[in-house]
């Protein structure tokens, strides 16, 4: 629905709802001075009293970062209907040291069941519901949490983020606005314009005298006031249909009054206008929409409305009634019921990029380490005794190449590399990969929290063996006996009963995967290669139900470090105008892999499939045909899976599938599964990686197959002293204080199994201490000095001694300096590294010699010929 249409609709709705309602004389105040305040258990005032329910905020747990609150809620009616009360209990699983997009699991009970569920609860699309719980992020501290907060820091509706102005602006026939019928409405509320100084309303908002308005402006962190009454007067981050989905959500409460939602908090990295950061505290406001309080005697139908949509069911297409609609979250009745969860944020990843943090020492390597790095980095750059550690994500092999040639101090890898004679490996993290999924139970029964998968199902997904649609099933060779998508596969149904078996989609036909080379892909494909039934399937043998492998992938060789896209089938009968205009292999568009596992995690976070079989444009030069990504899946109907790291899974609260270890045993990606797998790892040769074979895991009932050990690999000879000391310091710090589980700086986040002196990881701990000593000592017999080992040379591991590459023979640390803005205008350089002299006598002299020799020989020939001819001779 377009904006103008929606705006018109909302305005019309507001008018329709308020027609024939007599205007009501306001009493009380808009902002919460209450006449029957009672002291509560935590000493805060509340305007309602519900027997057996005491307002209480900030019950925390010693073991975890959880936070809970209780809020008594009462709705008063003016038409004689008995007042309703409820007691809402809300709990979040974390609220401090949050990272950008680190989802918070919010659960509540005792709320009014939501009616007319919106499949997309985010932003304006969530408004079409009755009685949802609106979750929004607001800048500041709520007086309910801290009564002493200064007015400047206090949360008000003006500091709460919304993505569209529909959530900030309401209009109605004069005197008939639902906010004007509040029991506590003041003269200010019943005015023609309320909520904002009329002088600040820009012209484009088209405020006319025909209607009354309530406008909730947005106060940005930098002081700018955005009126919020038109799309132009919203903050710049408020964009519709952009990459990021709206943050605020009108969450669903089931018929028992229970609800659960993963709230996605954002820092100033994503939303500078909201401006939450490690220095600016914010609040997650959970506003249970429970109905506008009508004053006694106000019998207006609009004010006393209790909803017209079916409770617990999907919205059939009708509009909600204003009195119970989330669009009026800022009204006094709704705002007063808010439950404020105080949030604090971790330092941003960029904290160590400041020049004052010192020159970063880059480590390169596996994405498996990235979530730990997020918490570890500040513990280095903010400690004067430590170096400035910098983690960069690149494929394992490339990282080792950089480390070997000296461009990187160290490589973070998850497996043994070639030619590693003088390289030691220090175990740094035990983590792994997993198959994340967003799957909903049928009939709005909530999210499915566990599924079981085996190697053959993964092989089926990776080989694009599910057609995804009837048209592809009929046209693509070899698909005639294949289920349309994973949820229709009898093998999957047998492992995961009770899920949707009625629908199919392209989103459920593929695994969101990585396009680049990665140790994770090697491990995933090794897992498949170790499973005889999966390999039989790949070799062309049908499964018990007759499904066959996609013929393009038949006999594909595993393991691989980059998953190949082999299907070249072009759909010649397609209706898709983009594909008609430019025929393209179809199945890779369903697989549509991306360049990092983080992007897969983001796709799961937004339930937004990577499938790009859509088409936009009309084929003209101004609007050419373009393949487009599928729409995000609606809550309640989701079914997508993707390959993610366990660190991302825990950080963003994504659900991860259990994988089959020994036949019939499905193991969860938790600490128990990781430690069981670590126990199976066999020590390698001296200070080389442990060998964790999928064959051993297939014999275990408890080992998680996606377990990976990430190592810090560094040279034991030829490293400059300073660099060697930095690497040794990193290994020591990361294997001790970096292995303390927690959410603070320097601690180990969820998704990683701590490496400790005792327990299943003790051998890893011992090896990292030995490796740290060996790397610090740099006493391994030095390898033949090759120019490639010095700074400034291109990554090259075999270099002829007679052909020195540039800048051979320097002794400075082989560390490219960061781009610290030079103040004198000179370019940053690799510290002390200069271009080496190199010359080629052949190259320099060949052409001149040829030229001179040719001219001389020609002259001799000409001269002698001339003389001979003069003599009359031949």
Partner 1 sequence: MSLATLARRGSHGATSPERTDSDVPAKPSKAATPRQDAPPGGLAERLSLASSACAVLALVCGWMLLQLLVLGGLSHTRDQTLLYSKFRSELAQATAPTGELDYNGNPVQPGAPVALLTIPAIGLQQVVVDGTASGDLTAGPGHLRDTPLPGQAGWSWVFGRGSIDGAPFHKIADLAKGDTASVRTGQGLVDYTVVDVRRAGDPVPALPAGSGGGLLTLVTADSRGFLSALRASAPVYVDLTTDKALTDGPVAGAVPSSELVMARDTSGLPILTLLLALLTGLVLAITAARRHFRAALVWLVSTPVVIALAWAATDQVTRLLPNLM
452-511: contacts with partner 1 (CB under 8 A): none
Binding to partner 1 by residue 624, rule CB under 8 A? no
Out of 272, 495, 560, 627, which residue is the one contacting partner 1 (CB under 8 A)? Answer: 560
Binding to partner 1 by residue 406, rule CB under 8 A? no
CB nearer partner 1, residue 388 or residue 700: 388
Out of 127, 368, 394, 776, which residue is the one contacting partner 1 (CB under 8 A)? Answer: 394
How far apart (Å, rounded) are the C-alpha atoms in residues 331 and 787?
72
Residue ranges in 562-591 that form contacts with partner 1 under rule CB under 8 A: 562, 564, 566, 584
Minimum Å gap between C-beta 860 and partner 1 is 4
Alpha helices in 669-817 (DSSP H): 671-680, 694-697, 721-735, 762-777
Which backbone phi and psi does 516 adopt, to 5 degrees?
-100, 175
Minimum Å gap between C-beta 650 and partner 1 is 23
Residue ranges in 3-32 that form contacts with partner 1 under rule CB under 8 A: none
* Residue 387 near residue 399, CB atoms below 8 Å: no
Minimum Å gap between C-beta 630 and partner 1 is 20
In the shown chain, the binding pattern of residues 824 to 843 toward partner 1, with x for contact by CB under 8 A and - for none, equals ---xxxx-xxxxxxxxxxxx
End-to-end Cα distance, the chain = 99
How far apart (Å, rounded) are the C-alpha atoms in residues 496 and 492?
6
Structure-token match 């128990």, residue found = 672
Q: Collapse the DSSP code of 119 into the 3-class scheme (helix H, G, I; strand E, B; otherwise coil) and give the result.
A: coil
Q: What is the 3-state secondary structure (H, E, C) of 505-556?
A: CCHHHCEECECCCCHHHHHHHHHHHCCHHHHHHHCCCCCCCCCCCCHHHCCC
CB nearer partner 1, residue 257 or residue 348: 348
Binding to partner 1 by residue 784, rule CB under 8 A? no
Q: Which stretch binds partner 1 (CB under 8 A): 193-201, 334-342, 478-486, 852-860?
A: 852-860
Minimum Å gap between C-beta 432 and partner 1 is 23
Residue ranges in 271-330 that form contacts with partner 1 under rule CB under 8 A: none
Q: Collapse the DSSP code of 237 into the 3-class scheme (helix H, G, I; strand E, B; otherwise coil) and give the result.
A: coil
Which backbone phi and psi does 256 adopt, to 5 degrees?
-85, 0
Binding to partner 1 by residue 392, rule CB under 8 A? yes
Structure-token match 């599938």, residue found = 657
In the shown chain, the binding pattern of residues 511 to 550 toward partner 1, with x for contact by CB under 8 A and - for none, equals -----xx---------------------------------
Binding to partner 1 by residue 873, rule CB under 8 A? yes
Residue ranges in 359-388 that form contacts with partner 1 under rule CB under 8 A: 360
Minimum Å gap between C-beta 533 and partner 1 is 25
CB nearer partner 1, residue 62 or residue 874: 874
* Residue 24 near residue 180, CB atoms below 8 Å: yes
In the shown chain, the binding pattern of residues 735 to 774 toward partner 1, with x for contact by CB under 8 A and - for none, equals ----------------------------------------
CB nearer partner 1, residue 397 or residue 736: 397
How far apart (Å, rounded) are the C-alpha atoms in residues 400 and 39?
64
* Residue 832 near residue 812, CB atoms below 8 Å: yes
In the shown chain, the binding pattern of residues 320 to 349 toward partner 1, with x for contact by CB under 8 A and - for none, equals ------------------------------
Q: Which stretch binds partner 1 (CB under 8 A): 8-16, 214-222, 373-381, 390-398?
A: 390-398
How far apart (Å, rounded) are the C-alpha atoms in residues 147 and 571?
65
Binding to partner 1 by residue 845, rule CB under 8 A? yes
How far apart (Å, rounded) are the C-alpha atoms in residues 564 and 696?
27
* Residue 113 near residue 131, CB atoms below 8 Å: yes
Minimum Å gap between C-beta 666 and partner 1 is 31
Could you tell me which residues come within 8 angstroms of residue 208 by beta carbon, excluding any fewer than 6 positions away? none
CB nearer partner 1, residue 20 or residue 851: 851
How far apart (Å, rounded) are the C-alpha atoms in residues 736 and 356?
26
**How big is the chain, counted in residues?**
874
Binding to partner 1 by residue 397, rule CB under 8 A? yes
Out of 116, 177, 246, 395, which residue is the one contacting partner 1 (CB under 8 A)? Answer: 395
Q: Which stretch binds partner 1 (CB under 8 A): 265-273, 479-487, 719-727, 804-812?
A: 804-812
Binding to partner 1 by residue 857, rule CB under 8 A? yes
Q: Which stretch binds partner 1 (CB under 8 A): 272-280, 466-474, 688-696, 813-821?
A: 813-821
Binding to partner 1 by residue 39, rule CB under 8 A? no
Residue 209 CB burial class (10 angstroms; 0-12, 13-18, ≥19): exposed
Binding to partner 1 by residue 593, rule CB under 8 A? no
Minimum Å gap between C-beta 687 and partner 1 is 22
Name which of 787, 839, 798, 821 is nearest 406 in CA terms.
787
Q: Which stretch binds partner 1 (CB under 8 A): 4-12, 376-384, 494-502, 844-852?
A: 844-852
CB nearer partner 1, residue 470 or residue 868: 868
| CB neighbour burial string for 177-197, b if at least 16 within 10 angstroms, e if fewer | bbbbbbbbbbeebbeebbbbe
How far apart (Å, rounded) are the C-alpha atoms in residues 134 and 199?
30
Out of 278, 596, 637, 769, which residue is the one contacting partner 1 (CB under 8 A)? Answer: 596
How far apart (Å, rounded) are the C-alpha atoms in residues 130 and 116?
6
Minimum Å gap between C-beta 863 and partner 1 is 8
Residue ranges in 119-158 that form contacts with partner 1 under rule CB under 8 A: none
Residue ranges in 58-117 that form contacts with partner 1 under rule CB under 8 A: none
Instruction: Report angle CA 480, 483, 487 to the nearest 5 degrees.
Output: 170
Minimum Å gap between C-beta 793 and partner 1 is 9
CB nearer partner 1, residue 20 or residue 855: 855
Which backbone phi and psi does 522 adopt, to 5 degrees?
-60, -45
Binding to partner 1 by residue 627, rule CB under 8 A? no
Residue 672 CB burial class (10 angstroms; 0-12, 13-18, ≥19): middle
Out of 795, 811, 823, 824, which residue is the one contacting partner 1 (CB under 8 A)? Answer: 795
Q: Using N-to-C axis directions, what is the helix angle for 762-777 and 721-735, rounded to 10°?
A: 170
In the shown chain, the binding pattern of residues 410 to 429 toward partner 1, with x for contact by CB under 8 A and - for none, equals --------x-----------
Q: Does residue 559 have a cis bond before it (omega within 30 degrees)?
A: yes
CB nearer partner 1, residue 147 or residue 844: 844
Out of 54, 353, 736, 756, which residue is the one contacting partner 1 (CB under 8 A)? Answer: 353
Binding to partner 1 by residue 799, rule CB under 8 A? yes
> How many binding residues for partner 1 (CB under 8 A)?
80
Out of 203, 798, 823, 824, which residue is the one contacting partner 1 (CB under 8 A)? Answer: 798
Q: How far is CA 796 from the centre of its chain?
A: 35
How far apart (Å, rounded) are the C-alpha atoms in residues 161 and 144?
19
* Residue 625 near residue 579, CB atoms below 8 Å: no
CB nearer partner 1, residue 148 or residue 557: 557
């Amino acid at each position: 629905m377009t904006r103008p249409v929606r705006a018109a609709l909302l305005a019309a709705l507001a008018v329709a709802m308020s027609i024939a309602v007599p205007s009501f004389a306001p009493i009380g105040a808009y902002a919460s001075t209450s006449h029957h305040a009672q002291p509560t258990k935590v000493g805060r005032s509340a305007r309602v009293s519900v027997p057996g329910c005491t307002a209480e905020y900030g019950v925390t747990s010693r073991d975890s970062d959880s936070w809970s609150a209780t809020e008594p809620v009462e709705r008063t009616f003016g038409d004689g209907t008995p007042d309703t009360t409820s007691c809402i209990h809300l709990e979040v699983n974390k609220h401090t040291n949050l990272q950008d997009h680190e989802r918070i699991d919010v659960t509540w009970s005792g709320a009014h069941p939501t009616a007319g569920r919106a499949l997309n609860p985010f932003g304006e699309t969530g408004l079409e519901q009755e009685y949802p719980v609106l979750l929004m992020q607001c800048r500041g501290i709520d007086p309910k949490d801290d009564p002493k907060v200064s007015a400047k820091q206090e949360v008000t509706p003006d500091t709460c983020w919304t993505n569209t102005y529909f959530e900030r602006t309401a209009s109605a026939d004069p005197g008939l606005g639902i906010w004007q019928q509040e029991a506590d409405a003041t003269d200010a509320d019943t005015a023609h314009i309320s909520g904002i100084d009329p002088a600040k309303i820009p012209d484009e908002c088209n405020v006319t005298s025909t209607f009354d308005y309530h406008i909730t402006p947005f106060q940005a962190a930098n002081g700018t006031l955005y009126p919020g009454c038109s799309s132009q007067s919203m903050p710049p981050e408020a964009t519709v249909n952009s990459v990021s989905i709206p943050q605020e959500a009108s969450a669903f409460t089931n018929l028992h009054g229970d609800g659960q939602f993963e709230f996605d908090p954002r820092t100033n990295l994503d939303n500078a206008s909201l401006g939450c950061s490690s220095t600016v505290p914010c609040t997650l406001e959970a506003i249970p929409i429970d109905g506008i309080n009508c004053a006694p005697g106000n019998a207006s139908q609009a004010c006393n409305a209790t909803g017209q949509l079916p409770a617990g069911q999907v919205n059939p297409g009708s509009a909600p009634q204003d009195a119970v609609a989330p669009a009026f979250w800022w009204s006094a009745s709704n705002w007063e019921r808010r439950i404020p969860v105080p949030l604090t944020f971790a330092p941003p990843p960029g904290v160590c990029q400041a020049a004052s943090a010192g020159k970063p020492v880059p480590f390169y390597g596996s994405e498996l380490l990235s979530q730990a790095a997020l918490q570890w980095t500040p513990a280095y750059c903010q400690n004067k005794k430590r170096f400035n550690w910098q983690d960069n994500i690149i494929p394992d092999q490339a990282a080792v190449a950089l480390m070997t040639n000296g461009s990187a101090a160290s490589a973070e890898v998850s497996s043994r590399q070639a030619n590693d004679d003088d390289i030691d490996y220090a175990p740094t993290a035990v983590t792994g990969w997993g198959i994340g999924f967003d799957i909903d139970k049928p009939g709005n029964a909530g999210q499915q929290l566990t599924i079981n998968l085996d190697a053959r199902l993964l092989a089926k997904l990776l080989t694009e063996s599910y057609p995804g649609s009837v048209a592809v099933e009929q046209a693509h060779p070899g698909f005639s006996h294949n289920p349309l998508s994973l949820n229709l596969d009898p093998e999957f149904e047998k492992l995961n009963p009770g899920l949707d078996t009625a629908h199919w989609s392209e989103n459920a036909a593929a695994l969101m995967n990585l396009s680049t080379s990665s140790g994770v892909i090697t491990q995933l494909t090794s897992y498949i290669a170790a499973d005889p039934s999966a390999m039989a399937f790949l070799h062309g043998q049908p499964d018990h139900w007759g499904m066959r492998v996609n013929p393009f992938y038949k006999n594909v060789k595993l393991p691989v470090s980059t998953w190949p896209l082999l299907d070249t089938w072009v759909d010649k009968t397609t209706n898709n105008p983009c594909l008609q205009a430019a025929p393209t292999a179809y199945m890779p568009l369903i697989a549509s892999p991306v360049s990092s596992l983080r992007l897969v995690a983001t796709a799961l976070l937004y339930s937004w499939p990577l499938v790009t079989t859509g088409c936009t444009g009309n084929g003209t030069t101004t609007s050419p045909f373009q393949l487009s990504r599928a729409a995000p899946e609606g809550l309640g109907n989701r079914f997508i899976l993707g390959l993610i790291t366990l660190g991302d899974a825990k950080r963003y609260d994504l659900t991860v599938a259990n994988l089959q270890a020994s036949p019939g045993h499905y193991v969860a990606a938790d600490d128990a599964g990781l430690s069981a797998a670590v126990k199976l790892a066999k020590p390698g040769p001296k200070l080389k990686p442990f060998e964790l074979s999928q064959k051993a895991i297939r014999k275990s009932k408890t080992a998680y197959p996606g377990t990976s050990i990430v190592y810090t690999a560094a040279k034991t000879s030829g490293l400059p002293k300073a660099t060697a000391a930095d690497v040794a310091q990193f290994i020591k710090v990361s294997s001790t204080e970096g292995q303390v589980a927690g959410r603070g700086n320097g601690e180990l986040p969820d998704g990683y199994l701590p490496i400790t002196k005792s327990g299943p990881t003790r051998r890893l701990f011992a090896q990292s201490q030995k490796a740290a000593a060996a790397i610090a000592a740099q006493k391994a017999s030095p390898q033949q000095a090759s120019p490639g080992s010095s700074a400034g040379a291109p990554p090259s591991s075999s270099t002829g001694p007679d052909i020195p590459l540039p800048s051979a023979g320097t002794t400075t640390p082989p560390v490219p300096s960061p781009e610290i803005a030079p103040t004198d205008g000179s370019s940053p350089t690799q510290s002390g590294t200069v271009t080496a002299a190199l010359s080629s006598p052949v190259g320099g002299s060949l052409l001149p010699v040829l030229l001179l020799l040719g001219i001389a020989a020609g002259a001799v020939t000409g001269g002698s010929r001339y003389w001979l001819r003069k003599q009359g001779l031949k």
